[in-house]
Structure formats: structure tokens, C-alpha cells
């Protein structure tokens, strides 16, 4: 549990290792909190276009960013032009529409980059029969007043890797 979706995204990005100076790939269409959480880590959002049918991160755009703009280094990916590390990929499940997670996660695995999904407004959504928490390394839900399920304010970070989830729990309980 977190105090908001934004703090959940900040904690999740921190847990997967995003630090000052890094880049995080994010879709160009989202609520500002996606980019804010990246900035709270001292990292910079690197925006790629969204797909016309889902308004979620475009797979061809992500593939272009990884294959044409990055080089492989130390098991991860570096933005060739700037030399900055690509530390995470943040698909956003926009307004309950789920990003095309299968190609996104397989590209991420190929380039050694973790995936933190912004599922702030998508609690209960599924992808090919799978619940959202199964899809990314970590997924973040918001319980803000304008969401599907609300507590007035609040958030949650979910994932399958108990070590990663334990780290988020450690960070969000003042370490």
C-alpha cells in the first residue's frame, strides 16, 4: 500500500533501480503523474508515441527506441546519442485499456530493462485472460478519488517477484 499512485510509481521505479540521470521510456499520452514519478527519481521521461487503437504505448515505437536508438551495455541498454542508461520501461494502461504487454515485456527482457506499469486507472483490467499484476515486474494502482476503486487517496504496488515487492514495502514504510 502507498499514499498515492504517484508515490507507488516512485517507489516501484526506485525498487527496479532507477536513479538520477537515467532515462525511462513512457508513452506520450498519460496523466502527468507518470512523468512526475520518473522526475521524482531524478530521471528523465523519454516519450514514445501511443497506438491509435488503445492509446497505450506503441509497440513499433518502443521497438524503434530500443533497436534504433539504444546500444547494449553491461546487460542493459544505453541511449546511444546521450550515453544515458535506459533504466526502465513504463507502459501506461490508459483509462482501463491495457497496453500490449506481451511484445513489450519480451522486448524489455531482450534488452535487459525492467518494466514498471502505470495501472493507476486500470484496476480489474485483464490482458489475454491474465490479471494486470502478472504482466510487468511491478504494476501500480491508484485509489485516488477519480479512479475505479477509491479510498479518497492511496495506491498499491503489485508484482509476482516477492523480493521486489518486499523492497517496495521496505521503501514505503520509511525503510
Ligand X SMILES: *Cc1c(COP(=O)(O)O)cnc(C)c1O
- Enzyme catalytic residues: 147
Cell of 104: 513489450
129 Ramachandran zone, left/alpha/beta (phi>0; psi -120 to 50): left
The one among 4, 14, 44, 172 contacting ligand X by CB under 6 A? 4
Q: Does 50 bind ligand X (CB under 6 A)?
A: no
Which residue in 10, 14, 36 sits closest to 164, CA to CA? 14
Site map 151..170 versus ligand X, x via CB under 6 A:
----x---------------
SS3 of residue 2 by DSSP: strand
Q: DSSP string covering 133-166, please?
A: GGTSSEEEEE--TTSSS-SSS-EEEE-S-HHHHH
Sole binder of ligand X in the list 16, 33, 138, 167 (CB under 6 A): 33
Contact between 76 and 86 under an 8 Å Cβ cutoff? The reply is: yes
Under the binding rule (CB under 6 A), the answer on residue 114 touching ligand X is no
Residue closer to ligand X by CB (options 92, 107) is 92
Determine, following the binding rule CB under 6 A, whether residue 34 of this chain makes contact with ligand X.
Answer: yes
Least distance in Å: CB of 98 to ligand X? 12
Binders of ligand X among residues 13 to 32 (CB under 6 A) are 30-31
Which positions lie near ligand X, rule CB under 6 A?
4-6, 30-31, 33-34, 92, 118, 120-121, 142, 144, 155
Amino acid at each position: 500500500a502507498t499514499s498515492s499512485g504517484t508515490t507507488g510509481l516512485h517507489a516501484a521505479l526506485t525498487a527496479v533501480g532507477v536513479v538520477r540521470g537515467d532515462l525511462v521510456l513512457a508513452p506520450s499520452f498519460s496523466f502527468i503523474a507518470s512523468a512526475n514519478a520518473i522526475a521524482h527519481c531524478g530521471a528523465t521521461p523519454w516519450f514514445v508515441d501511443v497506438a491509435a487503437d488503445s492509446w497505450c504505448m506503441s509497440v513499433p515505437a518502443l521497438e524503434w527506441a530500443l533497436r534504433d536508438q539504444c546500444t547494449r551495455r553491461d546487460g542493459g541498454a544505453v541511449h546511444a546519442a546521450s550515453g544515458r542508461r535506459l533504466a526502465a520501461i513504463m507502459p501506461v494502461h490508459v483509462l482501463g485499456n491495457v497496453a500490449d504487454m506481451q511484445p513489450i515485456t519480451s522486448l524489455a527482457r531482450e534488452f535487459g530493462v525492467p518494466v514498471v506499469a502505470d495501472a493507476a486507472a486500470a484496476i480489474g483490467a485483464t490482458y489475454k485472460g491474465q490479471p494486470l499484476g502478472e504482466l510487468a515486474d511491478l504494476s501500480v494502482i491508484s485509489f485516488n478519488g477519480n479512479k475505479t476503486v477509491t479510498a479518497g487517496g492511496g495506491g498499491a504496488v503489485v508484482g509476482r517477484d516477492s523480493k521486489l515487492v518486499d523492497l517496495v514495502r521496505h521503501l514505503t514504510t520509511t525503510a
